[in-house]
A and B are shown apart, each in its own frame.
Chain A
Amino acid sequence: MSGRLKGLAAVLFAAVVLYAMQHTTPFYSEIISQVPVSGRLGERVDARDFALVAGRVNLARALETESYGSTKTYTTSGVWILVEAVAEAKRESMALTSAEWIGPSGVRYGLSQRLSNVPGMVQTANFEPGLAMPFLMAFEVPENELSGGTLLVSRSLLMPLAEQVRMPVPDLPADRIRSTIAIGPAGGELPWTLEAK
């Protein structure tokens, strides 16, 4: 009798342990997720492979670029976020291929590829060890995902356990949204000029 009870207890115990294990197993995406490095807007953040300073955050209803003498306007149903930043590689020449805007709701907005071949965009930038390189990042988000967002930048999402810089972006009030920002060619220190219209 006591043997049977013991057996039952053992089975129950095993079931509880298995249930607990099943529900605490981390997701694969969590196991290989990137290591966060937190930073603040306007301050230098050091990851292992690169250092980054994200500066001004510009907002606009439309972006304008010029190529081969003709003006191209990029409209959006939301708001353009145009982040001006500087980064340098630390160990080897590299690119920054992943940047995301996480809205206050937790929804992830990827780097806009619509302007990816505009000079100065992060997609065209090569970062060399010891050489600070200014670049732009463009995101398209709905207006309600602006304030309380977080900017994420990393070398590549395909590199498991690589470092990802995360910086919360302070409030972005709607009155900062310009109707159009024109991205022009190099002016002075920076490889671009931004002109609000």
Chain B
Amino acid sequence: MSVTPRSTLRQRLFAFLAAGIGGTLAAAMSFAMTVYEAANPNVIPNVEAGSPIDTGRWIVTIREARAGDVPPTGVKPYEPKKFVMVEFDADNRSAATAFVSPRLFTFDPPMENLREPTFYLVRDKWIASAINPDMPERLVVAWEWPEEQPLPQTVRLKVGSEIYKRRDNLYGHSSWFDRDPIAIVELPVTAAESEAEQ
């Protein structure tokens, strides 16, 4: 802790300049990137139903969409309800058994007052549990449609993606994190015949 006063002044000046230039540069770059991103919004590619979409953790193939009053269990609920259902194949590409994220599919434009969907395993006609790696399963995602809204003729689904981080920024956890949507799938909604209650 011994420094000559003259060099202190010069060093201080240099440090001030360096910090100032660096800071200004960083701010300018961040601003420029924001402007650039706003000017060139990321276009989410449209993907045909039936073709596989790599979302990072899952390979998802959307098959068909239907609407009706019978949930994928085949048992009509006691109180009449309307469902919009999308059938898809999910292949878990991660190294461990995992649940499909309820944020995997979202409507575009977003739907108001829609509760989180339920995923059903077609094999069991029952609520799906976690899906095993390397064992693709046919699933149905069902949204309970608000009573006051008419059932849609077509749906535009945004398919979300996930990214694996060996070490997250906060805790150093290894985990999967939500990322920007990766594809948009538009498909017609067929009216499902209610075969269950007859």
- Chain A residues engaging chain B, CB cutoff 8 angstroms: 25, 27-29, 74-78, 106-110, 112-114, 116, 140-142, 145
- Are A29 and B174 closer than 8 Å at their CB atoms? yes
Residues of B within 8 A of A27 (CB): 166-167, 172-174
Bound-state CA distance A27–B136 (Å) is: 30
Residues of A within 8 A of B174 (CB): 27-29
Question: Is B1 an interface residue when CB atoms closer than 8 A count as contact?
Answer: no
Residues of B within 8 A of A77 (CB): 135-137
- Are B172 and A109 closer than 8 Å at their CB atoms? no
| Known interface pairs A27-B167, A28-B172, A77-B135; A108-B95 also in contact (CB < 8 Å) | yes
Residue of B nearest to A141 (CB): B132
Main secondary structure of the interface of B (DSSP, over half): loop
Residue of B nearest to A77 (CB): B135
Segment touching A, from B24-32, B122-130, B143-151, B154-162: B122-130
- Are B96 and A108 closer than 8 Å at their CB atoms? yes
Residues of B within 8 A of A109 (CB): 96-97, 132-133
Bound-state CA distance A113–B119 (Å) is: 14
- Beta-carbon contacts of B72-89 to A below 8 Å, as 1s and 0s? 000000000000000000
Taking A28-B172, A114-B126, A142-B132 as given, write out 19 further A-B residue pairs in contact, using a Cβ cutoff of 8 Å, ordered by the A residue number: A25-B172, A27-B174, A28-B167, A28-B171, A29-B173, A29-B174, A75-B123, A77-B137, A78-B132, A78-B135, A106-B95, A107-B133, A108-B97, A112-B129, A113-B129, A113-B130, A141-B135, A142-B135, A145-B134
Residue of B nearest to A111 (CB): B97
- Are A110 and B96 closer than 8 Å at their CB atoms? yes
- Are B124 and A74 closer than 8 Å at their CB atoms? yes
Residue of B nearest to A110 (CB): B97
User: What total of A-B pairs shows CB separation below 8 Å?
Assistant: 56
Whole-angstrom distance between the Cβ of A123 and the nearest chain B Cβ: 11
- Are B124 and A114 closer than 8 Å at their CB atoms? yes
Whole-angstrom distance between the Cβ of A48 and the nearest chain B Cβ: 25
Bound-state CA distance A74–B125 (Å) is: 11
Residue of B nearest to A31 (CB): B172
Bound-state CA distance A69–B167 (Å) is: 50
Residue of A nearest to B172 (CB): A28
- Are A28 and B173 closer than 8 Å at their CB atoms? yes
Question: Is B121 an interface residue when CB atoms closer than 8 A count as contact?
Answer: yes
Residue of B nearest to A145 (CB): B134
- Beta-carbon contacts of B15-52 to A below 8 Å, as 1s and 0s? 00000000000000000000000000000000000000
29 A-B residue contacts at CB 8 Å?
Answer: A27-B172, A27-B174, A28-B167, A28-B172, A28-B173, A28-B174, A29-B174, A74-B124, A75-B123, A76-B135, A77-B136, A77-B137, A78-B135, A107-B96, A108-B95, A108-B96, A108-B97, A109-B97, A109-B133, A110-B130, A110-B132, A112-B129, A113-B129, A113-B130, A114-B121, A114-B124, A114-B129, A140-B132, A142-B134
Residue of B nearest to A144 (CB): B134
Whole-angstrom distance between the Cβ of A15 and the nearest chain B Cβ: 19
Residue of A nearest to B137 (CB): A77
Residues of A within 8 A of B134 (CB): 107, 142, 145
Whole-angstrom distance between the Cβ of A20 and the nearest chain B Cβ: 16
Residues of B within 8 A of A142 (CB): 132, 134-135
